[in-house]
Amino acid sequence: MSMRRLDALSAIYDDLEPCAVVTIMGAVAAELQSLGHRPGHFYLQHAMGLASSMGLGIALCRPELGVVVLDGDGSVLMNMGGLSTMGRYRPGNLTHVIFDNESLLSVGGFPTATSAGTDLAAVAAASGVPRTTTVATVSDFAAAFREARACGELTTIVAKVDAHYEPPARTMGFVTELGLLENRFQFARHLRDRADT
């Protein structure tokens, strides 16, 4: 029993509005864009594993900003050491969501280690992340996310989701119409403008 990632994203879409959001590549990026791109969203369309490191860098440098990382099990498995670094510095303004569909969806559905026993919430807790939880329904996810944003402590939420992807309209696979560099420069300008206010 698990949820659709698009429904989970939909449930927290409004809560993301004031935050700087970093997503992993592929389905997560396309699905969030299908709900509505914002200048505060950055889609790290490669460099697997580094979305959490990027979120950590932003959070450490901008303690006044809410920072959300929308991560995946495959990406986290590529940078497990990054969880230790995140746990070590534990910025309270950072919320780390891991959409765990137990597969590398964007390359055709290769089952990852989380389908065979690896528990990423437990890994995060053992890496020093102060608050961790695993959820499997949209309402539990939304509640956990809002609690994480409100509590002022670093939180990792593992959201168990279906390995399902419906390409949003006008996309080809995971390619959307937002250019990589267009997003990159717009995001930097947005964070710069927010610093000036």
Partner 1 sequence: MPVSVDSSRTVYDALRANGVGLMSALPETWLVHLIRMAEEDPEMILVRLAKEEEGVGISAGAHFAGTKSAMLMQNHGFLASINGIVSGAQLFRIPLLMLISDRGTFGEPDPWQTEGGLVTEHVLRALRIPFARVDARADCALHVGEALTLAHASNRPVALLLGRPLMWEAA
For partner 1, the closer of residues 112 and 133 by Cβ is 112
For partner 1, the closer of residues 6 and 59 by Cβ is 59
Q: Which of 8, 16, 29, 58 binds partner 1 (CB under 8 A)?
A: 58
Q: Which of 23, 33, 52, 155 binds partner 1 (CB under 8 A)?
A: 52
Q: Which of 44, 104, 120, 124 binds partner 1 (CB under 8 A)?
A: 44
State the binding string over 15-34 for partner 1 (x if CB under 8 A, else -): -----x-x------------
- Near partner 1 by CB under 8 A, which window of 59-67, 99-107, 133-141, 165-173? 59-67
The residues, ordered by sequence, that sit 6+ positions from 122 with a Cβ below 8 Å of its Cβ are 132
Element holding 42 (H helix, E strand): strand 41-43
Find the binding residues for partner 1 in span 135-194 (CB under 8 A): 180-181, 184, 187-188, 191-192
CB 132 within 8 A of CB 90: no
Residue 63 dihedral angles phi and psi, to the nearest 5°: -60, -20
- Near partner 1 by CB under 8 A, which window of 79-87, 96-104, 115-123, 131-139? 79-87
Q: Which of 37, 62, 90, 146 binds partner 1 (CB under 8 A)?
A: 62
- Alpha-carbon span 15 to 94, nearest angstrom: 14
- Alpha-carbon span 164 to 157, nearest angstrom: 20
The beta-carbon contacts of 117-121 under 8 Å, at least 24 apart in sequence, are: 118/77, 119/158, 120/73, 120/76, 120/77, 120/156, 120/158, 121/156, 121/157, 121/158
Does residue 77 touch partner 1 according to CB under 8 A?
A: no
Q: Which of 1, 14, 46, 108 binds partner 1 (CB under 8 A)?
A: 46
Distance, CA of 55 to chain centre: 9
